[in-house]
Structure formats: C-alpha cells, structure tokens
Structure 1
Amino acid sequence: MKHLLFILGDEILANSNFKNYIYRAYEKKFKEINEIKIQNKTDKDLPFLLEDLMQKYDFITIFSSFEYYPTVAKILATLNEDNLILDENTLVPSKSFYEKDSFMIEFLTCKINVLKIQINHTIPNLIGDISLNFKHFCLFGIDNESAILLLETLTKSYEVKIKVTQLLEHINLVKVSSSQYGKLESFLKSVQNLFGQKFFLGKDPIEFISKKLLDKNMKISFAESCTGGLCAAKITQFSGISQIFEGSIVSYSNRLKHEWLGISEDILENNGAYSEKCIYFMLKGIFKTAKPDFALAISGIADKEDIKEHKAGTIYIGAMFKDGTYIQEILYLKGDREFIKEQAVLGAFCLMLKLKPEIFEF
C-alpha cells in the first residue's frame, strides 16, 4: 500500500525538533516513512495537487499548520462534494470520521487524514490504518554481500522481496515485503532458523537490546567521551528504562577521566585517551561507580581534524559484563561529527550482542 506523509506550513518546517516529532509519530503509526512531501504554504494549485496525489497514493496523512488547516479542509470537502461543519471548534467535512483536530475523509481509491498542527503542542491522533505487507529485521555478525546471497536463496520459495541496508559493518537491516500470495511469516521463520542468534525482528538494534535488558532486569551504564552522553540519550528514549539505567559518566578531559573513572595519570599520559587501554579502564571505572550488569565505553575523534597519530573518525569502543568478560573494537568511521557519533553509539551497543549472545537471543 502506497502511503504519503505530507507536511504543510513554513512554521512546521522552521522548527526542526517539532518536525522530527511528526516523523516519529508517523513512523510509530505506520512502521516506516514511505514517502515525504513538504510544502511551505498553500497556493492556487493545491486543489490540483491533492487530486493528483489521490491518484498515486492509497493513504495520505497531511500535517497542516493551524494557519492552512481551514483551506485544506475546504478543498477536500469540495472535492468530495461535501460541506464543512464546526465541531469542538474545528472545521471538518460532514462525511468524515473525526476526532479533536484530526479527520479522515475517504475518496474512491484514497483515504486522507488531516491533522491540525499547533507548534509545541501534542500532535493529534493519527486516524486510519494501512495494510502492511512488510516487516523489518536485523542480521548481526554477517557482511552485506553474504546476507543478500543467503536471503535470496529463500525469497523465491516464499514469494517475497528483500531490501538490505548496511547500518554498520556486519550489521544489516532487512525489509521484507510479500506479494499478494507471499508467505511473509513463513519466510521470517526460515530466516530465524537459518541465522539463529544473528537474527532479530525490528529495525532498531538499540531498541531491541534495551528491551531485552528491560525484560531481564539487567542494568547498564556508560563511560562516554567523544559521544557526549549520546548512549544515555539513546537508551532513555524507551519507556520504563529507569528500572535498568541509573546514570553514566561523560568525561571529556583527562582530569575527569582520572578523578571520576579512576584511570591512572600514567595510563592517560603514556597511552592517551584514544587507546584500547584507556577504554578498558573506563569500563572498570564505571563498574566501580554504578555497579551495572553491562558497561559500555567510547572514546575517539568524532571530528574532521586528525589528532597526532589518530585520524578523524577513529573511535575506540568497549563492552564489559559484570563477570569481568569484555570486548573491544576500533571503528574507522567517515562522515560529519553527528553521523560519526551516532555510528559509534550503535557499534558500542552491538558489542553486547557479541559479548553475551545468549542474553539477547530472539
């Protein structure tokens, strides 16, 4: 089913935080963002544009700014040979299904949900559903080419199509969609049997890992340098996470690495903050402070400038379990500062899958 996210209004576009809120709400409802159209204001061509879009999509969700909402409602009512009524101080087409600040109108081949958006207010309920013929899963510990080769041996038997995206080296996101007679669930079961612990459902490895930790009531904490608390920010996206996350340490300077994490000045001077030895003692230090089940540590250069013998994008990551077992890696990442930080955090979380795969078995 083809669906479209349509944002209308320059006020929304100017507020990037609120726009991202819209994206999250939409993706939570429909499991993916299929296509996006953005327009900063209404114009005389909007009725013709909406008619054209109705021919191309099965479902359209329009997030309209408060200013342009009455115009959109009037155009859709006219196209559906309907009248507008005022209910709960909101104009809606009389034939539509509606809630506060949100209505859904049906045309012959398309449904349209229009939401009246006020900046820095809660987004109204998204109305209506689409038929999902796809699912996402991740494969861990296998390269992109091998993943595609092995998956394609199954696709013909189950009449499904796959699209593989590499999130990080040896971490692949797969979208599988079925034809009319495709056997989606049977395909997923076969993939699980084929890949075992390398397979888990969903498109976000950090969400999968965090929920597994919640299910098992296993605590986690972080010692971060170049990522500036991004590990903590990522895990606190999920409801109930305070049960397993008490806090972490962000230490950029060597002084605080020494004072807060207990790393000796000798190690910091001789090995440097960008070293496997430093990561090891960052892990040990967070265990002394927080006493979690898992600890993650990150240090490196998330910037475009090289520092001494270390190239930009060189990131040291480590994970340790409470029994003392640990694993470390060096990532060589490319991109801007924010992208490198995001990739470093993803890589650090996924170290836990390598360190204790039995805990995260799907």
Structure 2
Amino acid sequence: MRHILIIVGEEIHINEPFMDYILKRFKEHFTHTPLISYIGNSDKELPFKIENLAKNYDYLTIIANESNFYTISKILCTLSSDSLELKNDTLMPSRTELFVENSFVAEILEAKINLLKACPNKALPVFLLENTTRTENFMLNAVNKDDALSLLVSLADSFNVNIFTSQILPELVLVRATNQKFGQIDEFLASVNERLKKHFIKGDNIAEFIVSSLKAKGLNLSFAESCTAGLVAAKLGSISGASEVFSGSLVTYSNHIKNVWLGVDEAVLETKGAVSSQCVEQMAKGALNMSGADFAIAISGIAGPGGGSREKPVGLVYIAVANDEHCEVRECHFSGDRDYIREQSALRAYSLLLESFWDEIVE
C-alpha cells in the first residue's frame, strides 16, 4: 500500500502543536508514520500535483484548511468529471459514497483520496481510509544491531514479512514489519520475541511499554532530572494510565537544589561536579528516598549549545537507574542540537532501565 499524507496550507504546517496532533492521530489510525508532502496556499500547480500524486500512490490522505478544502473538492470533481454536491453539510463530488462531516473519500485514477478539513484548536475529522496492509512496530534494546538484523532478515524471509529498521540509539533499534501476500506477521513477531526475549519491546513507544510492564507488576517509578528538565517524566505522563506507576518527579537544575532536595553531597558537587557519575548515582538514590518508589531514573548532563568544556563537552550525559538494591550508571555521549541531545538522553534513560532491571520489570 503506497500511502502519502498531504498537508495543504501554511496555517496548518507552521502550527507545530497542531501538526503534532495530526501526526499522532494519523499514526494511531494507520499504525505507521506517514510520508508527508507540504503544499502552500494558492499554489497554482495544486491540480497537477494532486493528479501526479494520484498516479504514484494508492492512497492519499489530504488535510487542508477551510479555504483549501473547498478548492480541493472542486479539483477532485474536475479530475473525476463529477460535480459538487452538498452532503452532510459538506461540499464533495456527487458520486462520493463514503463520507462524514468534513471528511470524504473520492477515487481518482484508481487512487483513493481522503480529504479532511482541519481547523486549528478543533478536533480533527475522522480518517476514512483503512490500513489494508498489516504493519507492526517493535523495538530491540541492548542488542548488537548487525547481529540482530541478520536474525531478523532470516526470520522475515521465513514468514513472508518485509522489515525496515532504524537505529534510534546505539543500544535501541526500531523495527517496522509489514505483511507480504500470505505473510505470517504474528508468527514472525512471536519468533523474534522468543529468540530475543530480554530485548523485545512491543510497539514503538518505550515509555508506553514500561508503563504497561510496571502496571502488570504493581510497581512504580520516580525521576530526578537536570539537563532534561522533566522530559523523561513528561514522556511517561503522556501515556494513559501512567498515574498508576508514576510516583513523582523532581527537576533539580541547580547544585543547591540537588543538595537540599536529593541529598547530593556538597563534596561531590564541588569536586566531581553536577555532571558526573557520582552525582547522578546520589540523585537516583535521593529520588528513591524521597518518593518511596520501586525504581528511579536520574539524569545530569550538558545539552548545549553552551556550557561545555574540554573535559566535559556538550553532549556528555550521565544516567543512573536504581532500585533499593542496585544502582547502574552510564556515561553517554550524544550529538546534535540541544533538543535532540535531551531527546536521546530521555530515551536512553528508559533503555537503561529495561537493560538493568528487565527481570524485575518485565519477566
């Protein structure tokens, strides 16, 4: 199934929160992240662009602002030699059979096109196309990518499944599996899980996997964050049901707060610094003591663009994960801008939690 998402109108694609919402809704419905094409307002080439895309893709989901919605409705009528008709308070080609308010499906050149009217600050209309190709995502944690890929390719061939991989972190690989004709995707997933038991994460959201695992065990988690400023906690909080496993979080940017709130020794802060293995170990233990949680994650680092030095460059991040019996610390070196370093830090924190405490959290 060749599918593309088309965003028409600057009003939509310059609105970052609204675009995030659209992409989340798309992924929830179709179970994959889309290939996206952006088209501006008053684009004189719009009819030709839609026609060319209809020639190259089986499915088009077009999301347009109000003015472009009616323009595209007329274009679809022209391309299908149809006329406009008002149905369910929405103007659309008269031969349209599948529609709801502000969303309908037209067929052009054998391509199915779902046009939706999108207004910022309002709920998105219903997606009407169906995902005809079975797609499943999973992640592999704490594996050698080359060895894992060799195994995945062999299993994919055996079960008639296509796979695509992307390295999220050096320790974390995202895999998308899609069924070929007569494919056995459930059997493929079961086989991967069996062979890579302590590395297999169902879905593509590691925080969601941790929430479901902790809920099943009746366990909870707390955080102490510095350079990520609550990002790790926010990722957990975005998951439905997180309140059952989320004890609480402390954002401790200054050394004074690390000392007063978490009990990090002044001597450690003065001699080793806030960005050190000793500091994050004490931050994690402090978070456990303050919250009474079963597990804690602590992060401190230099996200940049300033603040780095020769000894401690931008991208240096220390992560600690702990329970009452054990604390594991990692020194990490990330690249990119401030946001990407913080994002990688948060994901690695979750990755390290599973790597260190899989038996306690998942098994």
Whether contact under 8 Å (1:59, 1:130) holds in the other structure is no
Cα deviation, residue 326, structure 1: 1.9
**Equivalent residue, structure 2, for 1:7:** 7
Cα deviation, residue 246, structure 1: 3.9
Structure 1 residues 151-300: aligned runs within 5 Å: 151-300=152-301
Structure 1 residues 114-133: aligned runs within 5 Å: 114-133=115-134
Identical pairs, percent: 37
Structure 1: distance between partners of 2:76 and 2:357: 55
Cα deviation, residue 88, structure 1: 4.8
**Equivalent residue, structure 2, for 1:51:** 51
Find the residue that maps to 1:67 and give its secondary structure. Answer: helix
Cα deviation, residue 156, structure 1: 2.7
**Equivalent residue, structure 2, for 1:22:** 22
Find the residue that maps to 1:296 and give its secondary structure. Answer: strand
Structure 2: distance between partners of 1:60 and 1:179: 21
**Equivalent residue, structure 2, for 1:315:** 317
Structure 1: distance between partners of 2:59 and 2:133: 12
Whether contact under 8 Å (1:5, 1:33) holds in the other structure is no
**Equivalent residue, structure 2, for 1:69:** 69
Structure 2: distance between partners of 1:37 and 1:24: 16
Structure 1: distance between partners of 2:13 and 2:155: 43
Whether contact under 8 Å (2:54, 2:109) holds in the other structure is no
Moved more, 172-181 or 142-151: 172-181
Moved more, 249-258 or 170-179: 170-179
Structure 1: distance between partners of 2:126 and 2:360: 37
Q: Confirm or deny that 1:98 pairs with 2:99.
A: yes
Structure 2: distance between partners of 1:232 and 1:352: 14
Structure 1: distance between partners of 2:4 and 2:216: 35
**Equivalent residue, structure 2, for 1:39:** 39
- TM-superposition CA deviations, 1:69-113 (whole Å, max 9, x none): 111111112323333233454323333222121112234622111
Structure 2: distance between partners of 1:8 and 1:115: 10
Gaps of 5+ in 1: none
One-letter amino acid of the structure 2 residue matched with residue 51 of structure 1: E
Cα deviation, residue 150, structure 1: 2.2
Structure 1: distance between partners of 2:95 and 2:7: 23
Whether contact under 8 Å (1:166, 1:173) holds in the other structure is yes
Structure 1: distance between partners of 2:133 and 2:156: 18
Distance 1:74 1:138, change over 3 A: same
Whether contact under 8 Å (2:217, 2:361) holds in the other structure is no
Find the residue that maps to 1:345 and give its secondary structure. Answer: helix
Whether contact under 8 Å (2:315, 2:341) holds in the other structure is yes
One-letter amino acid of the structure 2 residue matched with residue 320 of structure 1: A
Cα deviation, residue 290, structure 1: 1.6
Structure 1: distance between partners of 2:154 and 2:43: 51
Structure 2: distance between partners of 1:16 and 1:271: 40
Moved more, 251-260 or 144-153: 144-153
Find the residue that maps to 1:318 and give its secondary structure. Answer: strand
- TM-superposition CA deviations, 1:242-300 (whole Å, max 9, x none): 22224211011101111111222122112211111111110121122221121100001
Whether contact under 8 Å (2:31, 2:135) holds in the other structure is no
One-letter amino acid of the structure 1 residue matched with residue 48 of structure 2: F
Distance 1:217 1:92, change over 3 A: farther
Find the residue that maps to 1:310 and give its secondary structure. Answer: coil
Distance 1:214 1:93, change over 3 A: farther
Q: Normalising by structure 2, what TM-score?
A: 0.93
Structure 1: distance between partners of 2:143 and 2:356: 16
Whether contact under 8 Å (1:143, 1:171) holds in the other structure is no
One-letter amino acid of the structure 2 residue matched with residue 273 of structure 1: A
Aligned residue-pair number: 361
Taking only aligned residues, the RMSD between alpha carbons, in angstroms, comes to 1.8
One-letter amino acid of the structure 2 residue matched with residue 289 of structure 1: M
Distance 1:45 1:308, change over 3 A: closer
Structure 2: distance between partners of 1:343 and 1:171: 10
Whether contact under 8 Å (2:211, 2:245) holds in the other structure is no
Cα deviation, residue 42, structure 1: 3.6
